[in-house]
Structure 1
Amino acid sequence: MRTFTLFSSVAFASTVLAHGNITSPPARQPGAAMQKVCGADAVAAVLADGTGPLENIPSSGSANCNIFLCKGAQFADNQANVQTFAAGEVVDFAAQLPIPHEGPANVSIIDLATNTVLGQPLIEFDTYADENLAVLPANNTAFSVTIPEDLGTQCQVAGECALQWFWFGTSAVQTYESCVDFVVAA
């Protein structure tokens, strides 16, 4: 009986622990503004496992809380991490994928006011983080995107735009997301 209980506990823990997030450039983190909008439980969930799926983050039900926009993390908590990039600049990303789940992924520029993609994705993976592979392709955890030349005046004010890493684990039916706040140098 103890062996079964131990095995069940280990199996359960392996399904609820980490999955994936962006570690570089600095991605949005939870803080006091997120707690005010999404609740203490949402902040606690992200702090307990920043790589967990969006579906595991509870929301207070506030109309202003959108877990599917930057995990609910608020710009007000992340102003010190705003990155400045030039049009045409290549930005290197590092992702942590402790538990892979195969599915599509991309990095896009998001208009934060409308939660819409600006232009085309900067990089796309039809199949990403395939748990059936013995070793993940190197470009799943280290890849680069190029800041578009055609953004015009968009993304010149902090808090307008983010680089959003978005991954959907098809079999797991789980969504992962990280946002990097940035401005394009004028």
Structure 2
Amino acid sequence: MKYTVAALASLATMVSAHGNITSPLGRIAGAAMAAACGQAAVDAVNIDGTIPLENIQPATADCNLFLCRGATFDDNVDRVQTFTAGQVVDFTAILPIPHEGPCNVSVVDTTTNSVIGDPLIEFESYADEALAQLPANNTAFSVTIPQLAAGQCAVAGQCVLQWFWFGTGAQQTYESCIDFVVA
């Protein structure tokens, strides 16, 4: 079988990893995401868990890639974590292909897809591919769970910790979401 250089480059781009949170456990793609986004979108995420949003092709208008990369709570009810206000939560990221740009972790209300309060951590410049080595805090960092209003993030599926990174040069967006409740 013969492949052109362009075909091989295209294939490498499709399977290359870019970035994802590996700890704490984040949302994964499943049947509910397939119903909202199509099986091809689920397959793309499952083949490359670090795929940028721009490389996922949703099959329906019901697919909201900008909320947890389309992954739904219904596929992740067994992954909900319980945190307390003031608790420090350690994150681990993999960044095999860095793309410099801003990044943050925020508490997001999943009903409105809006950030609650200020970001828990922010990087003005994250995953800068021009650096010989990435700063250690790009792949291992911590956030502190804030004191929220009574009833906020008390019900599973209501809130996520969302890691959001936008590679400005690559024009690519990455998201990971951790479902949680505040005890």
- TM-score w.r.t. the length of structure 2 is 0.94
Secondary structure of 1:127's aligned partner = strand
**CA distance in 2: counterparts of 1:13 and 1:131, whole angstroms:** 21
Q: Which amino acid aligns with 1:59?
A: P
2:82 aligns with 84
Number of equivalenced pairs: 181
**CA distance in 2: counterparts of 1:81 and 1:38, whole angstroms:** 21
1:24 aligns with 23
- CA shift, 1:153, in A, is 1.7
Does residue 34 of the first structure (1) align with residue 33 of the second (2)? yes
**Alignment deviations for residues 133-152 of structure 1 (CA, whole Å, 9 cap, x no partner):** 11100000000000002333
- CA shift, 1:9, in A, is 5.2
Does residue 155 of the first structure (1) align with residue 144 of the second (2)? no
Counterpart mapping for 1:74-153 below 5 A: 74-153=72-151
Secondary structure of 1:47's aligned partner = helix
Does residue 45 of the first structure (1) align with residue 47 of the second (2)? no
Where structure 2 has 5 or more consecutive residues not aligned to the other structure, the ranges are none
**CA distance in 2: counterparts of 1:13 and 1:43, whole angstroms:** 18
Where structure 1 has 5 or more consecutive residues not aligned to the other structure, the ranges are none
- CA shift, 1:10, in A, is 5.3
Deviation larger for 142-151 or 109-118: 142-151
Secondary structure of 2:89's aligned partner = strand
**Alignment deviations for residues 109-155 of structure 1 (CA, whole Å, 9 cap, x no partner):** 00000000000000000000000111100000000000002333200
2:67 aligns with 69
**Alignment deviations for residues 51-78 of structure 1 (CA, whole Å, 9 cap, x no partner):** 010011110123x310111010010000
RMSD of equivalent CA atoms: 1.5
Secondary structure of 2:164's aligned partner = strand
Q: Which amino acid aligns with 2:149?
A: L
**Sequence identity of aligned pairs in percent?**
65
**CA distance in 1: counterparts of 2:180 and 2:73, whole angstroms:** 11
Does residue 164 of the first structure (1) align with residue 162 of the second (2)? yes
Runs of 4+ in structure 1 over 3 Å off: 8-16
Q: Which amino acid aligns with 1:137?
A: P
Q: Which amino acid aligns with 1:51?
A: T
